[in-house]
Amino acid sequence: MRGESDVRGESGVQGVESDAARRRRRAQFLRELHEARELRDRVQPRRARAARMRQVMRMRTFRW
């Protein structure tokens, strides 16, 4: 029985660490995604401009 409580205690600590690790991984992923989008926009300027125009039209027709 004692071994089970130890396992639960460790998982509680790991839960806190995994939450912080998850946030770090998410931040890293978002940085890389942003960098990839910037690179794609530089490589394909016409497509990037069209995407910006679509986003502007989407926002104009969006109702609050």
Kindly give, in sequence order, each residue whose CB lies less than 8 Å from that of residue 41, ignoring residues fewer than 6 positions away.
48
Q: How many domains does the chain have?
A: 1
Q: 64: which DSSP letter?
A: -
Determine the pLDDT at residue 43.
94
Determine the pLDDT at residue 38.
92
Kindly give, in sequence order, each residue whose CB lies less than 8 Å from that of residue 23, ignoring residues fewer than 6 positions away.
none
Measured between alpha carbons, how far is 27 from 20 in angstroms, rounded to an integer? 11
The domain of 17 spans 2-61
The segments of the chain whose pLDDT lies below 50 read 5-10
Determine the pLDDT at residue 2.
54
Measured between alpha carbons, how far is 52 from 49 in angstroms, rounded to an integer? 5
Please state the pTM of the whole predicted model: 0.54
Closest CA to 51 of 63, 62, 40, 64: 40
